[in-house]
Amino acid sequence: MTRRIHFSKISDYHQFAQISGPDHPLISLVDYSQVRYPEDKEGLKLIQNYFTIGIKRNVPYKLYYGQKEYDFDGGLMTFVAPNQVIGIGDNPNVMVDEDRRPSGWLLFIHPNFLWNYPLAQKILSYDFFGYEVHEALFLSEKEENAMVEMFKNIEKEYQSNLDSFSQKIIISHLELLLNYAERFYQRQFLTRTGKDHSVLGDLDLILKKKLDEGNLIENGLPTVDQIAQELHFSPNYLSALLKSLTGMNTQQHIHQKLIEKAKEQLSLSSLSISEIAYSLGFERPASFTKLFKSKTDMSPLEFRKSFN
């Protein structure tokens, strides 16, 4: 049975987690070892109206960000945007003992705290807030310590006597934290295992299937959203991953496969340029010609003539 709990204010979470109220209504740093969730967590879904940045260790229950379950054995960092769903479930395979108690930190930032600052618009441009929380950030001990220190600097500032500079300084600390997270995510992309690189093979198979099925006239061109959904990634996450691996985003990969298919048809079939354009899902032959020329420096007709 699914139980949804919606927190509109940071103080709502404090009350739910059985910890003392926040020192500031719009920003709070919580010691994760002090958080107490209900005994029966199965099917629990938490939705928050604020950003959550967390570092967690030794979590004794299952946590789901979007549809993905995470392993919390190491220093692991998560980024949750407003209205994303955090799922919690019981994990009978994990026993809590003195050496493996939950620990870490949760930083909550309400969007209202960012009003009138550029970060209010910029924060969602960080890819890790657009991943539908598909992949958490794994940290080395040194990286984790650096992040925790930035958390503590934010806490120190909002707990001190607030003045006209306090909000600006806190937001500067927050932006620094996010920039470091972006750096660490890039490192994670570049050092991932061969299994993670298999997304390239999966992408090629999906695009090949779509182009070979011959129904693009009815279905139109493959879209980034469609490809991301089939690969079980969010569009932003998939493009960031592909760009780190190949230098091309998802749209560029789609265009590359379209051009390869177009070259095959131009050289091996007697279809007209317009027929090829429609068969590849283009609504107008002119759009196909423009894309083909931008990728090959030749028009489709010039390419075809080069084979005669």
**254's tokens:** 């789609």
Ranking 135-144, 196-205, 263-272, 291-300 by mean pLDDT, the lowest is: 196-205
| Radius of gyration of the chain, Cα coordinates, nearest whole angstrom | 24
Whole-number pLDDT of residue 135: 64
CATH class of 196-305: mainly alpha
Q: Check residue 73 and give its pLDDT.
A: 47
Q: How far apart are CA 199 and CA 205, in angstroms?
A: 10
Distance in angstroms (rounded) separating the CA atoms of residues 135 and 124: 16
From residue 120, alpha-carbon distances to 52, 105, 264 in Å are 15, 23, 47
Say if 3-191 and 196-305 have the same CATH topology: no
**How far out from the chain centre does Cα 296 lie?**
32
User: Can you tell me the mean pLDDT for 146-161?
Assistant: 92
Place of tokens 């890819």: 127
Strands across the sheet containing 137-138: 27-31, 103-109, 51-57, 76-80, 137-138
- Whether the CB-CB separation of 238 and 231 falls below 8 Å is answered with yes
d(CA 217, CA 199): 27
Distance of CA 198 to the CA centre of its chain: 18
d(C-alpha 216, C-alpha 221), whole Å: 6
CA distances from 30 to 5, 100, 248, 257 (A): 19, 19, 39, 48
Q: Is 74's pLDDT higher than 80?
A: no
pTM of full prediction above 0.85:
no
Residue extents of the structural domains in the chain:
3-191, 196-305
Q: How many residues does the chain have?
A: 308
CA distance 81 to 65: 11
66-70, 195-199, 217-221: which is most confident = 217-221
Instruction: Check residues 215 and 151 and name the one with the higher pLDDT.
Output: 151
> 182-201 pLDDT, tens per residue?
888 878 776 665 555 578 88
**Separation CA 81–CA 79 (nearest Å):** 7
**Token representation of residue 28:** 């709070």
Q: Which CATH number fits domain 3-191: 2.60.40.420, 3.40.50.620, 2.60.120.280, 3.40.228.10?
A: 2.60.120.280
pLDDT at 85 over 70: yes
Show the tokens assigned to 57: 């260790």
